[in-house]
Structure 1
């Protein structure tokens, strides 16, 4: 690994983070100006913020991608940026409560459900935004599609009540947390940056055994994210192996046995059909 890469990542980026500054390349500024021209930009930013960004980037060149890129025909895609995101993010940051009215699966609506918004998540598989929130009426942790939300009304909660609900949410999430240790095969140590990028959406830490020259990635994930984590591990192939995490090891063994069984049977059938007649 290039030693200057470590210096740049650790020292420069940490200094920028401490001063609340962000370094932007000319390519990133060009991309941002192009993104601000999209129709969703009006929902993503307030008019004041959008105008300020456009003014700061007015001297930047445009990407000019329309003549270079041809997009294949595809199904209609849902809006990536939902109009409720800004409202919900503000409620979460300001520790506000809410009354949620949403559509139910089999028709009709549930009106005025009291709760505390906790987190916004975007599913890359379903390409939809979800609101994670705690229902004070049902005393349960909920997940609701933003597309299903009909209306949201802000409510005031006392600091003591907010702290109580946050403790309940933290206890619930802690129960759902699972841990795994993924070891980088020594041959692929040079690809550590690429391997870590595959786990970028999970809470993780890295340990290094100097005597054995081995990197181990300690991953923390929610129980319902196990299949997504497995897909990342399968993508990395021979570069990694699971050291700890019985559930993950069992699922990897099952999928490997199924794959071996399928291709072993195909090979045997092919050999029997190609066997020369006596």
Structure 2
């Protein structure tokens, strides 16, 4: 029955939680059952009658519970529902195994377990359709064997609250030697398939976003610091850096522009709505001021399918850049 298919029914999840709670505790109260049904939006009379076996028709009742006393129930069969994966989930797991980053975040034993999962049918997937191709023209994709040690050092530094000393080579070629910082966050950009590390500099009391390819000579640095205080400073920094209004764009759903827009801005907080009168989608992008140049670059990448409506200074910036590009093009390529 579809009511028991996890992918199609929230009632399955509600019943699974009720059974497992009753199994773990020995009994489950009537209030707890109601709370679970409410949590999954299943708290309506037909479902309640089936769970509590109050329905006049025997076949419409679900006989998993039996009354223990006036306020609690027990399971009729002393067993719980073991977790399982659906065919769709197996397909997804096998797909992520094709990523070159899988070994960075999963142990070999977990990878082997996923490889052994079997499903009735897994259709072939052309990875060239979904793997990002808009790689940086300045920095190439670093070999996974070179990325792994860096990421592991950063993760260990975060978990163990340790300082890192490193040298950073920026995209424009500037070299920052022997910087001492605290890694606060790891970010991944789907747009250009790169990892970024956000460091907090103890010396300058500021935050820097570094491309992992540009980080060299990382070593652990001895020293004491209050990590909780650093995180508070980080949150305050983000709060003060948040743009006062979002960038609002209108996207025509042509040439997959809408899908591209959601992909390009997947790492940003955003909201969207359909403008029926214009047959366009409006996307509001909430961002930090230091991300403005990056957002403008992504908007330009989407081309004429996107129009910026607000704020005015972003519109003027994009118009200016387009005009300059046209001027350079016309000056160099006479038609």
Q: CA deviation at 1:227?
A: 3.2
Q: How does 1:114-263 map to 2 (within 5 A)?
A: 115-122=181-188, 129-144=195-210, 146=212, 147-152=215-220, 161-178=226-243, 179-185=246-252, 192-207=258-273, 215-262=281-328
- Cα RMSD of the aligned pairs, angstroms, is 4.7
Distance 1:154 1:42 in 2: 29
The 1:235/1:103 distance shift into structure 2, 3 A limit, reads closer
After TM superposition, the structure 1 stretch with the greater mean CA deviation from structure 2, 132-141 or 22-31, is 22-31
The 1:266/1:30 distance shift into structure 2, 3 A limit, reads same
Name the structure, 1 or 2, with higher relative contact order (CA <8 Å, separation 6+). Answer: 1
Unpaired runs of 5+ in structure 1?
Answer: 1-7, 66-74, 271-278
Q: How does 1:38-57 map to 2 (within 5 A)?
A: 43-45=104-106, 49-57=107-115
Q: CA deviation at 1:249?
A: 1.1
TM superposition score normalised by structure 2: 0.52
2:143 corresponds to 1:85 = no
Alignment counterpart, residue 161 of structure 2, candidates 74, 93, 97: 97
SS at match of 2:149: coil
SS at match of 1:78: coil
SS at match of 1:57: helix
Q: Are 1:203 and 1:219, in contact at CA under 8 Å, matched by a contact in 2?
A: yes
TM superposition score normalised by structure 1: 0.61
Q: Are 2:260 and 2:302, in contact at CA under 8 Å, matched by a contact in 1?
A: no
Q: CA deviation at 1:240?
A: 2.5
Q: CA deviation at 1:201?
A: 2.4
Higher gyration radius (CA): 2
Q: How does 1:33-72 map to 2 (within 5 A)?
A: 33-35=97-99, 43-45=104-106, 49-58=107-116
Q: CA deviation at 1:197?
A: 2.9
Unpaired runs of 5+ in structure 2?
Answer: 1-6, 15-38, 41-82, 127-138
The 1:50/1:205 distance shift into structure 2, 3 A limit, reads same
Q: Are 2:187 and 2:197, in contact at CA under 8 Å, matched by a contact in 1?
A: yes
Distance 1:22 1:244 in 2: 45
SS at match of 1:169: helix
